[in-house]
């Protein structure tokens, strides 16, 4: 077996991720606040700072463990002038506003002591305009040793009004690395190595994977696994990711293609159950089975409107989608605050500060999400079992998870009226409702916009 054969870390199949935008989660140390922080709870603007940091995450680990998550994905934490930090200035130093390298070391130690994992965000398509290598190019022009680390038209760098260098999405503050230059690749590989070797992080999420050369991404995966064979390499891919798995480039992808179906069926009601099944099956059949179990399934992220907002505030629709997420193959992930009913339109509104006052939280959503997590952790069939769609009709969806003798049937009713669902052989018969903790028989009664998770009784 070689490192490039498509096998993935075993721990990922049991992971329940929680994505944190560090600047907005919790301010654990006001002493490291950047200048001009806004009051916690104020609506964010694109350049707002609120003072969230890594110390704040450490202080809230009890909360995260109570919820039941066991892995964190942090958006970028390295030195950068922005609040989102996708414009990296120094890949080897945690931003002082987040507490610096010592704060990361303490966070990792605390997580590993609790048997939790951490994945960092690797922005390797581009850097920030303030990165010293790019600044050297700005100052010295073609005589800079880093001139061909970027792709520049002309004899000097022009940033405004129109940059004359390749940059991400035309944004002048994010010049793209020239990955055709092997020195650039080696520099970025050294970043991958450093944080796994010296700080024992558990993996990397690769920002804008679709913009990166496949061989470069594949090499990142190789480098990461040379340091730690159990490192998780996750790609941000918005479309269908089939080609990335053919290149053995990533262990899994952020499942935005699945997310599109979740929005269409659960949030907006634009699809019926059969259309949703067709969408999911199309993805399922195009990915390796291994990747279907190790791709990161999500309802929300820092790049999308909050799922509850897409549901127009209908908590029932949100919880239906959550029930699907936690009973579907893959690596379920919660975007910070979704578990307490936070809302928000697209960036920057989806990046509001966390609501820590319980009276501002939706405790019903929290309770049900917590129970769904608990159920997934208790039932190995939900994490590792085979997945089969059983039937679909109008707004009613039924599927099976099975591992060995354990069979779990999930019945979802996305319609506005209660239904009686007769399950086909061989799964018809007697069941135990794992949420309501009661024995039932087929046909299964499901309330409007509700679900049932049933263990087949022998």
User: What is the rounded CA–CA span in Å between residue 164 and residue 257?
Assistant: 33
pLDDT at 425: 78
Tell me what pLDDT residue 443 has.
92
Residue 4 has pLDDT above 60, yes or no: no
Give the tens place of pLDDT for each residue, 277-324: 999 999 999 999 999 999 999 999 999 999 999 999 999 999 999 999
Beta carbons of 165 and 157 less than 8 angstroms apart? yes
C-alpha torsion sign, points 193, 197, 199, 203: positive
The catalytically annotated residue of 87, 95, 202, 207 is 207
58 contacts 105 by C-beta, under 8 angstroms: no
Q: Which of 53, 202, 236, 338 is catalytic?
A: 236
Confidence of residue 183 (pLDDT cuts 50, 70, 90): very high
Could you read off the pLDDT of 363-398 as tens digits, one per residue? 999 999 999 999 999 999 999 999 999 999 999 999
Residue 358 appears among annotated catalytic residues: no
User: Order of strands across the sheet with 203-206?
Assistant: 252-253, 232-235, 203-206, 117-122, 71-74, 17-20, 331-335, 296-298
pLDDT over 90 for what percent of the chain?
93
CA 340/CA 63 separation, integer angstroms? 12
pLDDT per position as a tens digit, 141-164? 999 999 999 999 998 999 999 999
Distance between CA atoms of 388 and 378, rounded to whole angstroms? Answer: 20
Predicted local distance difference test score (pLDDT) of residue 5: 56
Query: Does residue 458 surpass a pLDDT of 80?
Result: no
Sketch out the chain's domains with CATH numbers: 10-384 (3.20.20.80), 386-456 (2.60.40.1180)
Query: Is residue 3 over pLDDT 50?
Result: no
Residue 1, pLDDT score = 32
Q: What are the tens digits of pLDDT across the range 37-83?
A: 999 999 999 999 999 999 999 999 999 999 999 999 999 999 999 99
Distance CA 137, CA 135 (A): 5
Residue 106 has which token pair? 């303490």
Q: What is the 3-state secondary structure (H, E, C) of 140-199?
A: HHHHCCCHHHCCECCCCCCCCCCCCECEHHHCCCCEECCCCCHHHHHHHHHHHHHHHHHH
Higher pLDDT, 112 or 248: 112
Active site residue 176: no
What tens digit of pLDDT does each residue of 317-366 get? 999 999 999 999 999 999 999 999 999 999 999 999 999 999 999 999 99
Helices in 60-144 by DSSP H: which ranges? 61-67, 100-113, 132-140
Higher pLDDT: 371 or 247? It is: 371
Quote the distance between the C-alpha of residue 8 and its chain's center. Answer: 17
CA angle at 354 for the pair 348 and 357, rounded to the nearest 5°? 145
């Amino acid at each position: 077996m070689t490192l490039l054969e498509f096998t993935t870390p075993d721990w990922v199949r049991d992971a329940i991720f929680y994505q944190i935008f560090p600047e907005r989660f919790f301010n654990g140390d006001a002493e490291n606040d950047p200048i001009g922080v806004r009051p916690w709870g104020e609506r964010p603007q694109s350049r707002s700072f609120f003072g969230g940091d890594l110390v704040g995450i450490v202080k809230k680990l009890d909360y995260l463990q109570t919820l039941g998550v066991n892995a964190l994905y942090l958006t970028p934490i390295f030195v950068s002038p922005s609040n989102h930090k996708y414009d990296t200035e120094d890949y080897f130093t945690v931003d002082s506003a987040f507490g610096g390298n010592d704060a990361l070391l303490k966070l990792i130690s605390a997580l590993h002591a609790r048997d939790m994992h951490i994945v960092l965000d690797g922005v390797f398509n581009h850097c920030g305009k303030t990165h010293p290598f790019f600044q050297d190019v700005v100052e010295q022009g073609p005589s800079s040793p880093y001139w061909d680390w970027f792709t520049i038209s002309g004899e000097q760098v022009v940033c405004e009004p129109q940059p004359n260098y390749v940059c991400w999405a035309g944004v002048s503050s994010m010049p793209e690395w020239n990955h055709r230059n092997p020195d650039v690749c080696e520099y970025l590989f050294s970043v991958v190595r450093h944080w796994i070797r010296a700080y024992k992080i558990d993996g990397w999420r690769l920002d804008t994977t679709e913009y990166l050369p496949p061989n470069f991404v594949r090499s990142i995966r190789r480098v990461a696994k040379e340091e730690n064979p159990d490192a998780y390499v996750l790609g941000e891919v918005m479309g269908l990711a089939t080609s990335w798995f053919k290149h053995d480039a990533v262990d899994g992808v952020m499942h935005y293609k699945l997310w599109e179906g979740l929005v269409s069926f659960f949030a907006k009601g634009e699809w019926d159950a059969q259309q949703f099944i067709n969408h999911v099956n199309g993805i399922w059949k195009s990915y390796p089975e291994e990747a279907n179990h190790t791709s990161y399934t999500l309802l929300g992220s820092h790049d999308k409107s909050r799922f509850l907002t897409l549901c127009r505030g209908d908590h029932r629709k949100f919880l239906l989608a959550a029930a699907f997420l936690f009973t579907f193959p893959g690596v379920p992930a919660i975007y910070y605050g979704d578990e307490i009913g936070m809302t928000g339109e697209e960036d920057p509104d989806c990046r509001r500060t966390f609501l820590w006052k319980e009276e501002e939280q939706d405790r019903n959503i929290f309770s049900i999400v917590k129970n769904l997590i608990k159920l997934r952790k208790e039932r190995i069939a939900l994490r590792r079992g085979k997945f089969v769609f059983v039937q679909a009709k109008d707004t009613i969806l039924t599927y099976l998870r099975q591992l060995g003798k354990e069979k779990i049937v999930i019945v979802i009713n996305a319609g506005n009226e209660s239904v009686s669902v007769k399950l086909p052989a061989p799964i018809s018969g007697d069941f135990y409702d794992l949420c309501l903790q009661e024995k039932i028989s087929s046909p299964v009664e499901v309330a409007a916009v509700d679900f049932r998770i049933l263990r087949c009784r022998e």
